[in-house]
């Protein structure tokens, strides 16, 4: 089995077995492994049959001590993480961008493992862009090191329109990074018919660190190094949203405002960014939605037609969808009551709202939108500003939404 091929290295084992021999040979010959693998790889005959080459490479890996295998395992894990359905689709869509010059090379690979490993070896900029895009999804889902702001303007932007030098200089100055920083922008492929987003990666010099190392003559030497520190920003024109992922909360806010003012040329003085946070905890007890008195003149009916609940952890979820005329509260009590223990219960991770309303002219309409967790809602995609505001006003009245000026 793949997981027992190299002890303590399950992802390397999978990668070794599932990759084309030429690509795995290139991977193990990578310069970052040369300090402990170069001699062994040089001894693998390049013109031998595939079976012999595979056996020799496996022998070289088995001969390594666990600390060295662990270093290769870390990189193999990066490659294998990009082979699941969603990361693989992201990799292929990003490869359509001519700037990566990787479309044909990626197309020529036989499967997801080969595509991921080929990108790692031959198109590292593409590979890292896909990694960052997937990392944003993780931050967004779990709300860790993540904040989002809404911008009261519809401003189109493409990666080519980002002035990397000017923005990096401004960010470094405002965040007091004397050594500067690097800004990279890439267009994220459009999903669900929406316009594409722009992903910015800002790389800083991290704080100095040191580590002792043993020299060949057995003396010791102190090595100083600067690990990279990275911030990710995603701008969505369609959703009018700026998302920032970073460890420092103050820096997240500063960079969001800088990006809005300098790159989008948005007047943040008169129209400041607004942070919207959502709290779905009230729906653990009831899915009924009362119509606020102040909205009774324009809201005729408000209800929930879909709810998603996590069962114990975020990887196990169940979704209940009903027709607009159904009583979802009664149905949910019957369905979820049978599968969710009362102690602790489940966590509501998504709610779909359906609002029947009339406008100032008496015309009937329906507003439907979702709220996902604490950071995300697609109501921002509603093109009619009056409908958007109606949705936000209702969410505030129900205690679901809190607006915080940036």
Q: Residues 292-341: pLDDT tens digits?
A: 999 999 999 999 999 998 876 666 788 999 999 999 999 988 887 765 65
Query: How many Cα atoms within 13 Å fall on the side-chain side of residue 42?
Result: 8
Whole-number pLDDT of residue 399 = 93
Q: Which of 81, 147, 95 is nearest to 123 (CA)?
A: 95
User: Which residue's structure tokens are 């109606």?
Assistant: 390
Residues in the chain: 406
pLDDT in tens, 282-306: 898 889 999 999 999 999 999 999 9
pLDDT along the chain (406 residues), means of 10: 75 96 95 91 90 94 94 97 94 94 96 98 97 89 80 90 96 94 92 75 93 92 93 90 92 96 94 89 89 92 92 77 93 76 66 92 90 80 83 94 80
* pTM of the model as a whole: 0.78
Bridge partners (DSSP) listed for residue 275: 149, 404
The reported pLDDT for the residue numbered 31 is 92
CA distance 107 to 122: 13
| Nearest CA among 58, 275, 24, 19 for reference residue 150 | 275
Q: What is the pLDDT of residue 79?
A: 98
């Amino acid at each position: 089995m793949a997981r027992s091929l190299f002890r303590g290295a399950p992802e390397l084992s999978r990668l070794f077995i599932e990759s084309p021999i030429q690509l795995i040979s290139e991977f193990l010959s990578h310069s970052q492994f040369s300090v402990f693998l170069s001699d062994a790889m040089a001894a693998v005959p390049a013109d031998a049959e595939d079976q012999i080459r595979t056996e020799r490479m496996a022998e070289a890996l088995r001969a390594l001590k666990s600390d060295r295998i662990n270093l290769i395992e870390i990189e193999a894990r990066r490659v294998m993480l990009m082979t699941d359905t969603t990361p693989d689709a992201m990799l292929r869509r990003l490869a359509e961008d001519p700037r990566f010059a990787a479309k044909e090379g990626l197309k020529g690979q036989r499967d997801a493992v080969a595509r991921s490993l080929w990108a790692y070896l031959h198109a590292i900029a593409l590979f890292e862009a896909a990694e960052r895009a997937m990392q944003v999804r993780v931050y967004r889902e779990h709300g860790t090191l993540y904040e989002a702001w809404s911008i009261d303007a519809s401003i189109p932007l493409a990666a080519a329109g980002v002035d990397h030098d000017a923005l990096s200089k401004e960010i470094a100055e405002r965040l007091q990074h004397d050594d500067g920083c690097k800004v990279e922008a890439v267009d994220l492929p459009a999903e669900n018919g929406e316009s594409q987003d722009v992903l910015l990666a800002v790389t800083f010099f991290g704080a100095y660190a040191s580590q002792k190392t043993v020299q060949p003559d057995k003396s010791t030497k102190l090595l100083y190094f600067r690990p990279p520190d990275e911030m990710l920003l995603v701008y969505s024109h369609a959703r009018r949203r700026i998302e920032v992922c970073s460890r420092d909360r103050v820096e997240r806010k500063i960079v969001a405002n800088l990006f809005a003012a300098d790159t989008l040329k948005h007047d943040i003085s008169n129209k400041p960014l607004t942070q919207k946070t959502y709290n779905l905890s009230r729906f653990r007890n009831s899915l009924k939605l009362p119509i606020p008195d102040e909205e009774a003149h324009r809201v005729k009916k408000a209800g929930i037609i879909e709810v998603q609940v996590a069962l114990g952890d975020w990887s196990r979820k169940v979704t209940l969808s009903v027709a607009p005329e159904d009583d979802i509260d009664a149905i949910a009590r019957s369905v979820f009551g049978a599968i969710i223990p009362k102690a602790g219960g489940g966590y509501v991770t998504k709610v779909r709202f359906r609002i029947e309303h009339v406008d100032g002219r008496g015309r009937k309409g329906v507003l439907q939108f979702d709220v996902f967790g604490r950071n995300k809602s697609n109501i921002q995609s509603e093109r009619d500003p009056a409908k958007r505001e109606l949705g936000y006003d209702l969410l505030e009245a129900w205690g679901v939404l809190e607006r915080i000026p940036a």
